[in-house]
Amino acid sequence: MAQKRKRNENRQYQESWEKDYFQVMVKDTVVCLICDTKFQSCKSSNIRRHYMTQHIDFHHLTGEERTYKISSLKKSLSIQQNCMNKSVQQPANIVKASLLVSNMIAKNMKSYSDGEFIKNCIASVIDVICPEKAKLFDTISLSRQTVVRRISLIANENMQLLAERIQQFKYFSLCLDESMDVSDSAQLVIFIRGVDVNFNITEELLNMKTLKDTTKGIDIFDAFWESFTKYDLDPAFLSGLATDGAKYMVGQNLGFIGCLKTKFVNLKLDFQQLYVFHCVIHQENLCAKTIKMPHIMTVVIKTINIIRSHGMVHRQFKEYCKELDIHYGDLIYFSNVRWLSRGKCLKRFLQLKNEIDLFMTLRNETVSELSDPNWLVDLCFLVDITSHLNDLNLRLQGDDKLIIDSCREITIFKLKLQLWEHQLVNEDASHFKEFNNFDLPCEKKYKEYAEIIHNIGKSFEKRFQEINTYGKNFEIFSSPFNVDVTTVPTPLQMEILDLQCNPELQTIFREIDKIDFYRKYITEERYPRLRNFAAKVVSAFGSTSLCESFFSKMKFCKTKHRSSMIDCNLENQLRIATTKIDVDLEELSKKIVQQTSH
């Protein structure tokens, strides 16, 4: 045993080797200061033999002379190591710089070839400020091919980070929509909204799938289920769906929803437990279309088209408004597919009605309706009601919006409609600014306007039936202290009673954000079912606004000048442009350097 212990001691580095044999320890390896030979085994006989056979010429050095030589050799070794570290670090920094620029190009949806333009700009600045660094900056690769590869790497890293987050989700919901790009390819976009155990919300692009042939319900479903497989999603934790309400989406037999119901039946899952919504913003827009008033819209659209569709006439009108020092110097085209278009178009037309009347009269194209008080008062009413609808539309938009907030906005607006109808019947137009301020002698058709408001209300009642279907669940989430326990689902009743008997939590609930309340005070230990219920509600989508925003970016990114962009590159660029997940570009650059060094 003593001999074995002695043998182990001889295999450890000895401090005396530095002075006796010019050997030092560098990162668990013995290195010869004279010739840089490395010894994996710290065996004293090998160290001594190397010194006596290779460097016996240094044996005559003693005292201070030997100490000075060792110090000099150690300094040389340190300089050599620093140079090696810089040579490794420099490529990593260069790659990181390339990644940073590529990431900015993708974020701003610029052309890949802009990388070379940016490099030329940087080179011009460097030549003026610090020309001695010009060669270093020349090594940064920003060619079109390099930018494409860098964006692909960042997008793949983003997908990996998203996949890791998905594994932490307690519940998740999906919204999906389909649109044509500039090359007539049907692009199906799927966004995921997930909530983890700490009520942290994640909203990210899950997948973009190009539909090469038809866009039937079964085609949508196949692409949808492919995303489930790609990210290993468990349908048991799916809390809801939001679609655009098209027939191929919501059809109960051949539509996407019908196909998904069949899949749930095969998996023995309850489809009725999902929060399935036709996008609330789409429905609000459809309700707004119940306002016809064609005698107003026909004149407005025709007049705007006369002015804006001819270049010379349009220039003359803008110059005319400029001479009159009009703040709004131009008219707005009407687009039937844009949510806010009608309200904005009508409001601008009303603001410029006097200028339009004078301009058209000067051109001998008089618009007689602009001198008709009865027509103008109808225009004022239409401007007011479309402004109210536009305000509602804007409140329904936004990221990380809870479904209960959207439903509450709809419920509030339905109550407003009832109030406005009652007031108009009694000839009170307090909430219709333009109509109320119109002072020319005319026939104010209060009952006719009240009937229009009534029809809008009926449309809201018909289209937003999901609010009634899921209303009790939303009431439990938003007012757990006031809900009637007898109407609450049986599994939640005991926990709701417990909660309602806690006055301290009731006070806190009124003072803080609802998500923070469920995160901090509805604990897993005491309220497991209520916490689980709340997570499911928080995870639900209520609109497809993320998809609509994505399509707007897609049209900006894939234009007629970039129509040949392949689908994977389009998805990668738009993934980076829409993501909220930050990729660690420094770590990614190190991975790239390590891969290229092998």
Give pLDDT tens digits for 250-308.
888 888 999 999 999 999 999 989 999 888 988 998 898 889 899 999 999 999 999 98
The whole-number pLDDT of residue 106 equals 94
- Helix/strand/coil for 186: strand
Which parts of 118-212 are beta strand (E)?
A: 169-180, 186-196, 201-211
CATH class of 171-279+541-588: alpha beta
The HSE-up count of residue 509 (CA atoms within 13 Å, CB side) is 16
Pairing between β-strand 238-243 and β-strand 275-278 as defined by DSSP bridges: parallel
Label residue 30 by pLDDT band (50, 70, 90): confident
The whole-number pLDDT of residue 592 equals 81
pLDDT for 109 beyond 90: yes
pLDDT for 8 beyond 50: no
Measured N-to-C along each axis, helices 144-166 and 63-107 cross at an angle, to the nearest 10 degrees, of 90
Pairing between β-strand 186-196 and β-strand 201-211 as defined by DSSP bridges: antiparallel
Which of 61-65's residues contact partners 24+ apart within 8 Å by CB, and which partners? none
The whole-number pLDDT of residue 190 equals 95
The whole-number pLDDT of residue 16 equals 80
Taking the C-alpha atoms of residue 248 and residue 78, their distance in angstroms, rounded to an integer, is: 70
Region 566-571: what's the mean pLDDT?
Answer: 92
Taking the C-alpha atoms of residue 181 and residue 190, their distance in angstroms, rounded to an integer, is: 16
| Contact present, 142 and 115 (Cβ < 8 Å) | yes
pLDDT for 7 beyond 80: no
> How does DSSP assign 18-75, residue by residue?
HHHH-EEEETTEEEETTT--EESS--HHHHHHHHHHH-GGGTT--HHHHHHHHHHHHH
The HSE-up count of residue 181 (CA atoms within 13 Å, CB side) is 29
Q: What is the per-residue pLDDT across 323-359, written as a single tens digit (0 to 9) for each?
A: 887 777 788 887 776 778 888 999 999 989 989 999 9
Region 150-176: what's the mean pLDDT?
Answer: 95
Label residue 452 by pLDDT band (50, 70, 90): very high
Label residue 213 by pLDDT band (50, 70, 90): confident
The whole-number pLDDT of residue 11 equals 65
The set of residues, in sequence order, having a beta carbon less than 8 Å from that of 307 and lying 6+ positions away, is 313, 314, 317, 331, 356, 359
H or E element, residue 512: none
The whole-number pLDDT of residue 2 equals 44
Q: Is pLDDT larger for residue 67 or for residue 210? A: 210
pLDDT for 4 beyond 70: no
The whole-number pLDDT of residue 269 equals 92
pLDDT for 493 beyond 60: yes
Domain ranges of the chain: 2-60, 171-279+541-588, 287-463, 466-538
Region 101-111: what's the mean pLDDT?
Answer: 94
| Contact present, 390 and 413 (Cβ < 8 Å) | no
| Contact present, 235 and 267 (Cβ < 8 Å) | yes
